[in-house]
Structure 1
Amino acid sequence: MYATRDDLIVRFGESEIANLEAMQTQPDAVNEALQDATEEIDGYVAVKYALPLPSIPTTLKRVACNIARYRLYFQRPTEEVEKRYESELEYLKSLAAGKAVLNIQNEQNEVVEEKPRRNPKSIPIGTSYTGGVFSDEQLNKMPSV
């Protein structure tokens, strides 16, 4: 998981998390919301990065906390909670589209250049990729330049 109950408490306060827990019908609702948030994040991150990530960026911890908080407001989230959730979804969409990058750190707390996983559809012509749209037979029919 990208975040824990303690991370929620640090971000939103003990009283808010206690109130959210009191509204739940299941005893382990906070952990379930955090797990749901992790799976939702993975759905976007896996488009560009190989999972599991070597380390968890603090950005994803923030995203997980905001998504889990939104999920815990199962009846009616406040406007602020809903806006944070929508903002995090926009960030995840931009991450999946390659418009944003994750700063993944190594054991020495240094940002490593984490290369996104390449999508075969986006590999330029002239590379060694052989699984293209056109077969060799089709390409041989085309006039040469």
Structure 2
Amino acid sequence: MVYASVADMNVRYGRDTLRQLAEQKIDCDNDGQPLQTVEQVIETALADASAAIDGYIDTRLLLPLQKVPAVLIRHTCILARYALEPGAATEKAEKEYDATIRFLEKVSTGDISLALTQDEEQPDTGDVVVMENAGSVWARDRSKGYI
């Protein structure tokens, strides 16, 4: 599931900026004709970003999500724009990327919630084995005077 659209990217970064970034990623055939459109390049970056996010949240949430939280749209756009940067990313793009990765790591450990309803979004954990022990047989309180 892709968490953001080309329209979301245009709202955040502007159509002209995205066009410049995406045009640098377009491959051409032997005749010099482009093999992809600008939108296809951006859609590929968004799909890659969404797949990366899935890797962080799949143990916490049931995928595909029924409702995409706004925070995931934002972070998907950040990851996609970072992927569109040619060579070395700008300092701002790197800071946003690093902050997004830290956010996703906290989501994956459960430190941050995406504020989705718990009953709809919890993955089925299946059967769980719980082991308990009765404590030590040779504990002082159970030894009845032998220790």
Q: TM-score, normalised by structure 1?
A: 0.75
Match of 1:15? 16
Residue in structure 1 matching 2:56, options 18, 29, 44: 44
Residue in structure 2 matching 1:30, options 42, 58, 70: 42
Cα deviation for residue 129 of structure 1 reads 3.8
Match of 1:72? 84
Where do residues 81-92 of structure 1 align in structure 2 (5 Å cutoff)?
Answer: 81-92=93-104
Number of aligned residue pairs = 126
Distance 2:107 2:18 in 1: 28
Cα deviation for residue 76 of structure 1 reads 1.4
Kept after mapping to 1: 8 A contact 2:61/2:122: yes
Gaps of 5+ in 2: 28-35, 143-147
Kept after mapping to 1: 8 A contact 2:21/2:86: no
Note the alpha carbon deviations across 1:35-70, whole angstroms, 9 max, x for none. Answer: 100100000011211111111111100010000000
Note the alpha carbon deviations across 1:55-96, whole angstroms, 9 max, x for none. Answer: 111110001000000000131110000100110000000000
Q: TM-score, normalised by structure 2?
A: 0.74
Gaps of 5+ in 1: 105-111, 121-127
State the identity as a percent.
27
Name the larger-Rg structure: 2
Cα deviation for residue 118 of structure 1 reads 8.0
Distance 1:91 1:53 in 2: 18
